[in-house]
Amino acid sequence: MPRVVMYVSGFCPYCTMAEKLLRTKGVEEIEKIRVDLRPEQRAEMMQRTGRRTVPQIYIGQIHVGGYDDLSMLDRQGKLARLLAG
């Protein structure tokens, strides 16, 4: 399974929903980067993704986007393939 990285903040319901969805798909390890605690991490996230909101999710080297993007991939049947590598 590819590495999953999620830029998150402390209180973010969409971050929680994204994590729950990934867990239901068998993801056991999620690297969380807290942008609310480290401003330089938010700057890095914005530079990498072009977005300001959390979560921002990477599966392997692929930027999935936020929770809405993740759930859309799941509804289209593409998330399982992406997680399979």
Here the CATH number for the domain that contains residue 38 is 3.40.30.10
Total Cβ atoms within 10 A of residue 18? 26
pLDDT the model gives residue 10: 92
Q: Which two tokens stand for residue 77?
A: 């049947």
Q: 31-40 pLDDT, tens per residue?
A: 999 999 999 9
User: What pTM was computed for the model?
Assistant: 0.94
Boundaries of domain holding 16: 4-84
The tens digit of pLDDT for each residue in 43-59 reads: 999 999 999 999 999 99
* Number of domains comprising the chain: 1
CA distance 79 to 32: 19
